[in-house]
Structure 1
Amino acid sequence: MAKTNQKKMNGNEVQQAIDKIATDIFESLIPEQEQRRIFGQTLQLLANGCPVPPDEIAIRLQVLTDKVISTLRGFGAEFDKDGNVLGVGLTLVPTPHVYKVDGRKLYTWCAADALLFPVMLNHTAYIESPDPVTGEKIRVGVTPDRVVEIEPKSAVVSWVKNVDATNIRGSGCCHVHFFSSPETASRWIEKHPDKMFYPANDVYQAMKHIILNKYGDMTVRQERICC
């Protein structure tokens, strides 16, 4: 069994570590309020489980379609052959992180996204994601206010120390996973020494604090729209 050599951090230290990376990402990719509104509106529409035409986002926000597309491309968004948005953090394209909301099966790019989006979108989500070391399923229930269930209770989330904003998914998202315990996370970090891990609930609380205190303009009320 791998030893857990990582220094235990208190809630404030976890908050500071996560705040640094999350703020770097948001300030690099969506520094303008209009861009943050585009990001939030896109997530809102993707949560309905349908590809999203950029024109629809533009009409809803009364901005140029080109602005919508350039903002989302800067974030590494996924598009289908017709130019509709398939994903930007929350995605219709399968990943290891299953995100279930109101009976719809969606996915997220990373574990942190899965914990963050219930706060941004004001809904309850149920997450299933495999430990990349053992394959054990981690199951998490998240509301806009708190983590209501997590199994196993020892679950942690890996985190990056640095991120390349020009390749947010490759340098960040692809390294942010759920693990069933600190021990399995430590085994993974032996091969990824520039990474950290924190208790899943601490990551949720840190992300919630960042959104509500810094980026409330990305938080939108969910509206159900048929495909």
Structure 2
Amino acid sequence: MQAGSRTLFGWCAWDTLFLPELLGEPVRVRSVSPDGTEVTLRVAAGGVRERSHREMVVTLPRPEQCRVEDVQVLSTFCRFIHFFTDPEAARSWAREALEDALVLPLVEAFRLGAECNRLRFGAVLGSER
């Protein structure tokens, strides 16, 4: 992801949706979905501003698949989280990869990230507004 002149990296697709608010600046994201399709988007603190595919979605693990005490975030959480061009592409990947992932519209995945930011960093974020 590009934030101004800096190139930054997220562990998963979802990171690129909630990090702009924490960074205090918009980012441009380029990612390749597991099916090989390139997706691009522009994300700011207030939401997704541009996207390369109108029906873009994000896959997330189901809550019962996550354990709070698990420190292996990349292998137990992030491996489920990808951008896809549309819901059918996401469901097809989930079937083939034997993953029982949730498929969320991009806007809902952004809102979930914003809510997590509020829960974890609300006092700090509130003082900057």
TM-score normalized by structure 1? 0.50
- C-alpha change, 1:117 and 1:218, in structure 2 (3 Å) is farther
Cα deviation for residue 125 of structure 1 reads: 0.4
Counterpart among 184, 207, 214 of residue 89 in structure 2: 184
Paired residue type of 1:111: A
Please list the CA deviations of residues 132-168 of structure 1 after superposition, one character each: whole Å capped at 9, or x if unmatched: 11x1111110111111111111111010012242211
Counterpart among 61, 77, 90 of residue 172 in structure 1: 77
Cα deviation for residue 117 of structure 1 reads: 0.3
- Paired positions, count: 122
Cα deviation for residue 218 of structure 1 reads: 6.0
- C-alpha change, 1:103 and 1:203, in structure 2 (3 Å) is same
Conserved? CA contact 2:32–2:39, under 8 Å: yes
- Aligned: 1:144 with 2:49: no
Choose 1 or 2 for highest CA Rg: 1
Paired residue type of 1:181: D
Structure 2 counterpart SS, 1:111: coil
- Aligned: 1:206 with 2:112: yes
- Aligned: 1:104 with 2:6: yes
Structure that is richer in strand per residue: 2
Q: How does 1:119-138 map to 2 (within 5 A)?
A: 119-133=21-35, 135-138=36-39
- Aligned: 1:155 with 2:28: no
TM-score normalized by structure 2? 0.85
Cα deviation for residue 127 of structure 1 reads: 0.5
Conserved? CA contact 1:142–1:149, under 8 Å: yes
Conserved? CA contact 2:80–2:99, under 8 Å: no
- Structure 2 portions without partners, runs of 5+: none
- Structure 1 portions without partners, runs of 5+: 1-98, 222-227
Q: How does 1:7-156 map to 2 (within 5 A)?
A: 99-133=1-35, 135-156=36-57
Structure 1 counterpart SS, 2:55: coil
Cα deviation for residue 187 of structure 1 reads: 0.8
- Aligned: 1:197 with 2:99: no
Conserved? CA contact 2:57–2:86, under 8 Å: yes
Percent identical residues: 23
Segment of structure 1 superposing worse, 181-190 or 156-165: 156-165
Distance between the aligned counterparts of 1:200 and 1:107, measured in 2?
19
